[in-house]
């Protein structure tokens, strides 16, 4: 069930809007008295309702939101917006009811109207793709801060305004939460916002009511085939961001065939970026240096102007994410020379929680905690670690339960090919049998590299300690999956677990970290 209210940042000083004005502006059918009622916010989850909110009851996979109208009323909702199926059930709450055929489809524009987000908007940057969205959004944020721009972001890890951050529940918030966040950002003079846009967000109207100034595409690879029937359908969902209804201009990474197709099929003007050698594009990336602590690169633009800098993270893929962020800023009106100047001395000052995050110290194996949970993410991070490690690579990982199971064999195979020893553990089994998930990963690994050393240890704390026992000075440990997260979900219960904290503790116990 999804009854838990999402943590949200909302405007502190909302300007009330009349409920009748809302009904008239959108042509909603009205049931009940709506005069003399003001609306100050909007929520799609009853538990997230604040006093003065319009509660929007939409049908879901498990329930119809209209059934929670009484709870919304108890939390201070002043009216309900729902569809025909929900109207009568919502009216039982005693609140006035507005009716529209598809309340989810109306939500974005309604939230934009209530929060007046089209007035004096910040520059909006949207990022989509299978891997790298969170990273690009954090890199945009870092670059903007280095340029002196007050920035905000919303990502899988956090919603952030300057130094204020709340943990995210969804990658892309529901439109009600997103517009409230934008309104709050405007109150504190945020002038640019990076927004991570998942395929699900596009399919489920979560970024409605927004036209992005610049959108960026990282890559597309196997993921979410539980939500989409094929990669083609998954691509179609993402392509929708590159339409005039959703964005003004775009930047597309064209290393893959999917990127080149997006350029061909985009309905907005796009600039291209190539980050692999031998691929032609408007912007070209060249890697200058790869180390466990950073990746240095040169980015050359269509007019021959260049920028040289570094990201404090491993991997060509992270330089590629940084290049995308830089080109998006240029497309958003920032001058390349000014960006180059801002990052010339100390590089890009980015901290990305749980993305190839180094938690080890000066001594012992280098330990990275990563959020990779796709075959391509495994490939990229393992390649990057191999290029910067002389010793062995030990990889710890599991796979999501109740999510795309078809990627597990590939994840196992890529891990077996890229690492020297594997410790296969539990990630979020959710309602699946954890042993069956591990077995699928092991089968993939064994089929690819029969002789690979594999340890199967269900408990992630014990699994990490096993990895540590296998590694020494000069070796590297990649723990892929948990990233920034602070829980492990088993059979509907979220148990506290931070891989980053536990890894630091284990390194300390082993005498590698003070
Ligand atoms: C498949 C999907 O997107 N589901 C989302 C959907 O849930 P649902 O349709 O099942 O909702 P439901 O439980 O039937 O409830 C119906 C309505 O009643 C409301 N309700 C329900 C119970 C209650 O007590 N009170 C209440 O108000 C719910 O808020 C909802 O509006 O609406 C919920 C409320 O906003 C979301 O939390 C939920 O996201 C779930 C948790 C989810 O896992 N989504 C994933 C697939 C997702 O969106 N992932 C992407 C991409 C991730 C990536 O990049 O890897 C993302 O953007 O996060
Ligand atoms: N450009 C990239 N190409 C391939 N893999 C990448 C790239 N950038 C990051 N990764 C890998 O994917 C993982 C997830 O990165 P990130 O969180 O930035 O992506 P995302 O698209 O936001 O995914 P999610 O929405 O699941 O968080 C990283 O931990 C890393 O392993």
Concatenate the DSSP letters of all residues of 221-256 into one string.
-S--TTTSSSHHHHHHHHHGGGSTTTEEEEEEE-SS
Query: Cβ of 260: how many Cβ atoms within 10 Å?
Result: 15
Fold of 17-115: 3.40.1390
Cβ atoms 295, 313 nearer than 8 A: yes
The pLDDT mean for the chain works out to 94
Residues 6+ apart with CB under 8 A from 214: 123, 124, 125, 126, 247, 248, 249, 250, 251, 328, 331, 332
From the CB of 454, is ligand 1 less than 6 Å away? no
- Given 3.30.1490.20, 3.30.565.10, 3.90.190.20, 3.30.70.20, which CATH number is that of 357-509? 3.90.190.20
Query: Cβ of 30: how many Cβ atoms within 10 Å?
Result: 15
Q: Is 357-509 in the same CATH topology as 123-342?
A: no
From the CB of 135, is ligand 1 less than 6 Å away? no
Strand 476-480 vs strand 164-167: parallel, antiparallel, or unpaired? unpaired
Nearest to 481 by CA among 386, 391, 407, 389: 407
From the CB of 45, is ligand 1 less than 6 Å away? yes
The whole-number average pLDDT for the span 44-70 is: 97
Residues 6+ apart with CB under 8 A from 374: 130, 131, 221, 222, 223, 407, 411
Eight-state DSSP code of residue 401: T
Whole-angstrom Cα distance, residue 53 to residue 177?
A: 12
Render pLDDT for 59-83 as a digit per residue (tens, 0 to 9).
Answer: 999 999 999 999 999 999 999 999 9
CATH of region 123-342: 3.40.1190.10
Please tell me the predicted confidence (pLDDT) of residue 19: 97
Domain ranges of the chain: 17-115, 123-342, 357-509
Residues 6+ apart with CB under 8 A from 467: 394, 395, 396, 421, 423, 477, 479
Eight-state DSSP code of residue 47: G
Length, in residues, of the chain = 514
Cα(2) to centroid(ligand 1), Å: 6
For residue 291, count CB atoms less than 10 angstroms from its CB and return exposed for 0-12, middle for 13-18, buried for 19 or more: exposed
The whole-number average pLDDT for the span 417-431 is: 97
pLDDT class of 3 with cuts at 50, 70, 90: very low
For residue 430, count CB atoms less than 10 angstroms from its CB and return exposed for 0-12, middle for 13-18, buried for 19 or more: middle
| Nearest protein CA to atom 7 of ligand 2, as residue | 132
Query: Cβ of 102: how many Cβ atoms within 10 Å?
Result: 12
Q: With 70 as the cut, is the pLDDT of residue 5 above it?
A: no
- DSSP H helix total and E strand total for the chain: 16, 26
Whole-angstrom Cα distance, residue 419 to residue 379?
A: 10
Render pLDDT for 349-401 as a digit per residue (tens, 0 to 9).
Answer: 999 999 999 999 999 999 999 999 999 999 999 999 999 999 999 999 999 99
Residue with tokens 């001395």: 345
Q: In the structure encoding, which two tokens stand for residue 58, read together?
A: 């939409």
From the CB of 497, is ligand 1 less than 6 Å away? no
């Amino acid at each position: 069930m999804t009854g838990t209210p999402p943590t949200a940042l909302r405007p502190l000083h909302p300007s009330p809007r009349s409920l009748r004005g809302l009904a008239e502006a959108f042509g909603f059918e009205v049931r009940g008295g709506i005069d003399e009622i003001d609306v100050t916010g909007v929520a799609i989850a009853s538990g997230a309702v604040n006093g003065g909110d319009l509660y929007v009851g939409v049908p879901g996979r498990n329930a119809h939101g209209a059934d929670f109208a009484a709870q919304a009323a108890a939390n201070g909702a002043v009216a309900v917006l729902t569809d025909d199926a929900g109207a009568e059930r919502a009216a039982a709450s005693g609140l006035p009811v507005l009716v529209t055929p598809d309340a989810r489809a109306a939500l974005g524009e309604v939230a934009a109207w209530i929060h007046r987000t089209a007035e004096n908007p910040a520059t909006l940057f949207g990022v989509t793709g299978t891997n790298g969205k969170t990273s690009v959004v954090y890199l945009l944020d870092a670059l903007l801060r280095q340029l002196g721009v007050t920035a905000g972001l919303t990502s899988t890890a956090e919603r952030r305004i300057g130094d204020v951050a709340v943990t995210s529940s969804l990658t892309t918030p529901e439109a009600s939460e997103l517009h409230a966040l934008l309104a709050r950002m405007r109150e504190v003079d945020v002038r640019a916002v990076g927004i991570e846009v998942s395929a699900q967000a596009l399919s489920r109207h979560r970024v409605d009511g927004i036209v992005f100034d610049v959108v960026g595409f990282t890559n597309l690879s196997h993921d979410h085939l539980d939500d989409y029937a094929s990669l083609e359908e998954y691509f179609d969902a993402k392509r929708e961001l590159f339409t005039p209804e959703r964005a003004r201009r775009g930047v597309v990474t064209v290393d893959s065939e999917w990127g080149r197709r997006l350029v061909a099929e985009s309905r907005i003007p796009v600039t291209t970026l190539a980050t692999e050698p031998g691929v032609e594009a408007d912007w070209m990336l060249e890697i200058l240096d790869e180390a466990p602590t950073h990746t240095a690169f040169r980015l050359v633009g269509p007019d021959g102007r260049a920028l040289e800098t570094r990201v404090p993270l491993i991997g060509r893929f992270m330089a590629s994410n940084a290049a995308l962020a830089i080109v998006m800023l240029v497309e958003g009106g920032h001058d390349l020379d000014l960006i180059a100047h801002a990052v010339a001395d100390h590089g890009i000052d980015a901290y990305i929680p749980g993305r190839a995050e180094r938690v080890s110290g000066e001594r012992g194996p280098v330990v990275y905690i990563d959020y990779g949970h796709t075959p391509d993410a495994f490939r990229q991070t393992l390649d990057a670690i191999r290029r910067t490690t002389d010793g062995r690579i030990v990889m710890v990982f599991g796979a999501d339960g109740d999510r795309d199971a078809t990627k597990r064999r590939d994840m196992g195979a890529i891990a077996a090919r890229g690492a020297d020893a594997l410790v296969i553990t539990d990630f979020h089994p959710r309602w699946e049998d954890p042993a069956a998930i591990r077995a699928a990963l092991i089968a993939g690994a064994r089929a690819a590299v029969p002789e690979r050393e594999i340890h199967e240890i269900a408990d992630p704390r014990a699994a990490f300690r096993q990895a540590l026992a296998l590694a020494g000075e000069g070796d590297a440990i990649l723990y892929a999956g948990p990233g920034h997260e602070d829980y492990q979900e088993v059979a509907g219960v979220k148990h506290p677990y931070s891989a980053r904290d536990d890894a630091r503790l284990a390194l300390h116990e082993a005498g590698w970290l003070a």
